[in-house]
Amino acid sequence: MANRLDSAGLTFRQDYFDDPTGWAALVCLLKDIFGIDIGPLQQLGGPDPSSMPFGWFDATGELAANISAFALPFVINGRVVHAAGLQSGAVRPQWRGRGLYRDLTVKALDWCEQQGFEAIILYTDKPSLYEPYGFRSIPLHRYEGVAPAPSTSAAPALPLSAANADDLALLQALLKARSPVSTTLSVTANAAMFLINTQLDPDIRVSFLEGERAAIAWKMDAAGRFSLFDVVATEIPTLAAILGGLDIASAHIEVLFRPDKLGWAGDPLPLQSGTTLLLRGLGDMTPHFPAMLSPMADF
């Protein structure tokens, strides 16, 4: 366990995303610690309005330690769960070993309990930090297999860019009305995370299938393998329709969520990743089938 709290020289704050200096301090912290820039999120609609950050600030206004909670409803085994997510957990090196992160974690978990969330999920590369608080790991699986024949009736997809105002408005509308991409394990709302991930990973392409009113997040690697990251739509189109609209004839594909709504069945393979999905709550419930949350649901 961490050392007893030593907050000398620091001030605790929460709910500071409406303060431009507080938000800027978090942007700086994540850039310094992880090398990721979430600053563009302000131009993409801002952080999730349900977000509740917890942090320790030094006398200059620099954020020494942070963790943020937010509403993240998800589906597991067909059941919609009123859940929270935790993210943006970080401590600057010079402030580590003082119990700050343990203190913020307890504060965030207490807040989630007060809000009535029945479960909490997070991604981490240090699961041992959270296991003492009742978190357990959920095995993650992607699906691989032979691609179906692309649908010849699908209209050509249109590229979308969140940097374009009209495209952003369309994406926001689709994300607001989206259905879970899988009945086994998937989020029901993740607008802020989806949008910022289009900026954090320049290799992710987002295309619009107008006939299906669907936004498709995907990649194509140098070897010509197609990877499907997410599908944002009220009615999930088939994989054949997606490939037809994208005009892709890749022989081998992977889907980074359980494809139970895609009209296609690949082979589940354990996800090789440096991060672990953790779940707190719901007893010992786990997905009934191999599955994973779309990578667009995390940053």
Share of the chain above pLDDT 70, in %: 99
More confident residue, 298 or 151: 151
pLDDT reading at 1 higher than 60: no
DSSP percent split of the chain into helix, strand, coil, nearest 5: 25, 30, 45
Q: Is residue 2's pLDDT more than 60?
A: no
When the pLDDT of each residue in the chain is averaged and rounded to a whole number, the result is 94
> Which tens digit of pLDDT belongs to each residue from 167-193?
999 999 999 999 999 999 999 998 999
187-212 pLDDT, tens digit each: 999 899 999 999 999 999 999 999 99
Q: CB-side exposure of 111: number of CA atoms within 13 Å?
A: 21
Closest CA to 53 of 97, 124, 107, 117: 107
For residue 37, pLDDT beyond 80: yes
Cβ 187 vs Cβ 294: under 8 Å:
yes
Q: What are the CA-CA distances from residue 251 to residues 4, 145, 223, 224, 248 (Å)?
A: 56, 9, 11, 8, 9
Query: What's the confidence (pLDDT) of residue 229?
Result: 97
pLDDT at 69: 97
Instruction: Give CA–CA dist 25/19, Å, rounded.
Output: 10
SS3 12: strand
Alpha-carbon Rg of the chain, whole angstroms? 20
